[in-house]
């Protein structure tokens, strides 16, 4: 059998629920690329910034449409004045039929009005004359009629036409193409100004929301950090509470929850010193934990002090308690190391159970090793008892069926084991003389290699109808002795460390 560390070979019964959860939890592969963590402050800032940007964009479209309509109205008014003046100047040239004078008038008009791209003169016979940069493929030319303004479906150019009337006689139609370049410049300037304004608004609003969200998310972040600490078993966390809102209520409730958990863990530790720690954990972790009575194969160890009555009569009370606690501390460490638990202390005796509540297929072997280690620990400790002799303990082990259940009154229950297996273990200890392990032949056969059985004959056991063969059990080889010595050494070192810490405190 391999050596085991007292502190690492068996799962700690005093561990917190969070530690047990961490031990049983399997690592989860979570990709940050699949579900990246984005702080709330950044989400709110991005959300508000996007909302403001969309609102500004909609506002820009509305303003642009209003401004465009206003510009068109103003452009149409100016165009009407310009075309009226041009038609007045073209009356005489058109009446005389002089193309040179007509061209001269139009050229001067183009020079005076830079926004005019070109002029179209449509004569009564349907012929056209183009002056300036007029695009003959412009679809608007087909729709030019007398005294009707024609707007091209483009922001670059639009047309305005008017009939030339002299003495109630039409001499043709004059159509003028005005450039929309001015509107392009106006629209560009408007877009630039709105973009700058929108950028400032988005920036300021995002900063403001980021600041507000930071103040709101800070308590949440504190709560998350504190929750992580609590999940690791730190119940000393307390969060500062300020304000009077939902966040402050959450922090207050968290502090109260941690206080309750700390109190519960404190009670768990206190009860674990008097009761089985595993059972205490089950009760604390599940309020409706059912501990049903049942039969179970167990190994029971009994150890009681030899000549306790003379020792108690001749020794100071405080020393009696101190000495018993020294031995029981070593016994507890040894029993726990081998997977058993101390069921109860009965005056100067201790009762330990193996295979309950922690299952152990080699419970009888481990019970025997624990018993031999306890015998060796007594020899190492060698405290003087009655009549000046070292204190010794009679140790007995027995394996068999026992009843596991709640024993006692409704107001005070004890979850323990009872039955012939327990009674026989107690009788086994009484058959020894001290500093030796006594077992029945039946229990010895369950140990396996590494032990020898020195029979002391058949014995009548109170409560049993048939006598049984009993004997002293010792180690059979050096390897087993070294393993037990190592456990005793670690148990004594642990006890000395705790005593030293208590003295320093």
Work out how many domains the chain is built from and give that number: 2
The average confidence (pLDDT) of the chain is 77
Tell me: pLDDT of 270 over 90.
Answer: no
Residue 451 confidence (pLDDT): 93
Domain closes at, from 125, 152, 185 = 185
Nearest to 153 by CA among 167, 143, 166: 143
Same domain, 331 and 479: yes
DSSP 391: P
Domain closes at, from 153, 185, 217 = 185
Same domain, 177 and 300: no
Tell me: pLDDT of 126 over 60.
Answer: yes
Tell me the CATH number at 170: 3.30.450.20
Range of the domain at 337: 294-504
Residue 30 confidence (pLDDT): 46
Residue 257 confidence (pLDDT): 83
The three-state secondary structure class of 448 is coil
Same domain, 171 and 316: no
Cα–Cα distance, 473 to 397 (Å, whole number): 10
More confident residue, 4 or 112: 112
In terms of Cβ atoms closer than 10 Å to its own Cβ (0-12, 13-18, 19+), residue 234 is middle
392 within a domain of the structure (yes/no): yes
Residue 6 confidence (pLDDT): 43
- pLDDT 10s digits, 59-74: 888 888 888 788 778 8
Mean pLDDT value across residues 103-111: 85
Q: Which residues contact 312 (CB under 8 A, 6 or more apart)?
A: 320
Cα–Cα distance, 67 to 80 (Å, whole number): 20
Q: How confident is the model at residue 441 (pLDDT cuts 50, 70, 90)?
A: very high
53 within a domain of the structure (yes/no): yes
Peptide bond into 357 cis (omega under 30): yes
Are β-strands 393-408 and 436-440 bridged in parallel, bridged antiparallel, or unpaired? parallel
Mean pLDDT value across residues 468-484: 91
Tell me: pLDDT of 335 over 80.
Answer: yes
Give me the phi and psi of 219, to 5 degrees please.
Answer: -60, -35
Tell me: pLDDT of 408 over 90.
Answer: no
CA distances from 245 to 54, 219, 249, 287 (A): 32, 12, 6, 33
32 within a domain of the structure (yes/no): no
More confident residue, 280 or 312: 312
Tell me: pLDDT of 275 over 60.
Answer: no
- pLDDT 10s digits, 171-188: 888 888 777 777 788 888
Strand order, beta sheet including 169-179: 128-132, 116-122, 169-179, 157-166, 149-150
414 within a domain of the structure (yes/no): yes
36 within a domain of the structure (yes/no): no
Mean pLDDT value across residues 121-147: 68
28 within a domain of the structure (yes/no): no
Q: Which two tokens stand for residue 199?
A: 């950028």
Domain closes at, from 185, 200, 218 = 185
Residue 503 confidence (pLDDT): 42
215 within a domain of the structure (yes/no): no
Q: What percent of the chain has pLDDT over 90?
A: 15
10 within a domain of the structure (yes/no): no
Tell me the CATH number at 406: 3.30.70.1230
Tell me: pLDDT of 501 over 50.
Answer: no
Nearest to 217 by CA among 41, 452, 353: 41
């Amino acid at each position: 059998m391999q050596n085991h560390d007292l502190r690492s070979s068996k799962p700690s019964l005093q561990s917190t629920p969070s530690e047990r959860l961490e031990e049983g939890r399997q690592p989860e592969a979570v990709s940050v690329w699949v579900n990246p963590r984005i702080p709330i402050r950044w989400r709110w800032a991005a959300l508000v910034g996007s909302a403001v940007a969309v609102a500004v964009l909609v506002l820009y479209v509305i303003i642009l449409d209003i401004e465009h309509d206003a510009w068109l109205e103003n452009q149409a008014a100016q165009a009407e004045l310009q075309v009226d003046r041009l038609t007045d100047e073209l009356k005489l040239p058109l009446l005389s039929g002089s193309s040179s004078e007509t061209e001269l008038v139009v050229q001067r008009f183009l020079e005076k009005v830079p926004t005019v791209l070109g002029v179209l003169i449509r004569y009564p016979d349907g012929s056209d004359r183009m002056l300036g940069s007029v695009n003959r493929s412009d679809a608007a030319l087909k729709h030019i009629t007398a005294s009707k303004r024609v707007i091209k479906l483009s922001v670059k150019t639009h047309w305005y036409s008017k009939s030339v009337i002299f003495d109630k006689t039409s001499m043709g139609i004059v159509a003028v193409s005005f450039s929309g370049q001015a509107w392009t410049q106006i629209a560009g300037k408007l877009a630039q100004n709105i973009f700058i304004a929108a950028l400032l608004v988005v920036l300021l609003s995002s900063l403001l929301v980021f600041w507000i969200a930071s103040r709101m998310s800070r308590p949440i972040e504190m709560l998350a950090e504190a929750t992580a600490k609590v999940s690791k078993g730190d119940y000393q966390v307390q969060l500062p509470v300020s304000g009077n809102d939902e966040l402050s209520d959450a922090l207050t409730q968290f502090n109260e929850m941690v206080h309750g958990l700390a109190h519960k863990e404190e009670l768990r530790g206190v009860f674990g010193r008097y009761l089985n720690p595993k059972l205490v954990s089950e009760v604390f972790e599940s309020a409706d934990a059912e501990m049903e009575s049942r039969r179970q194969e167990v190994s029971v160890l009994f150890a009681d002090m030899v000549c306790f009555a003379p020792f108690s009569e001749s020794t100071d009370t405080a020393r009696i308690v101190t000495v018993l606690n020294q031995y029981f501390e070593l016994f507890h460490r040894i029993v726990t190391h081998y997977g058993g638990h101390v069921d109860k202390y009965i005056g100067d005796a201790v009762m330990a159970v193996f295979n309950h509540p922690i299952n152990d297929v080699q419970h009888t072997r481990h019970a025997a090793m624990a018993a031999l280690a306890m015998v060796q620990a007594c020899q190492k400790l060698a405290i003087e008892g009655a009549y000046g002799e070292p204190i010794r303990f009679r140790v007995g082990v027995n394996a068999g069926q026992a009843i596991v259940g709640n024993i006692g009154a409704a107001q005070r229950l004890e979850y323990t084991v009872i039955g012939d297996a327990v009674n026989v273990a107690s009788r086994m200890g009484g058959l020894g003389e001290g500093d030796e392990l006594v077992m029945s032949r039946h229990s010895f056969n369950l140990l396996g290699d590494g032990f020898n059985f020195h029979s002391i004959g058949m014995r009548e056991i109170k409560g049993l109808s048939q006598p049984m063969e009993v004997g002293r059990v010792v180690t059979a080889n050096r390897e087993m002795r070294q393993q037990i010595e190592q456990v005793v050494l670690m148990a004594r070192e642990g006890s000395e460390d705790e005593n030293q810490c208590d003295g320093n405190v």
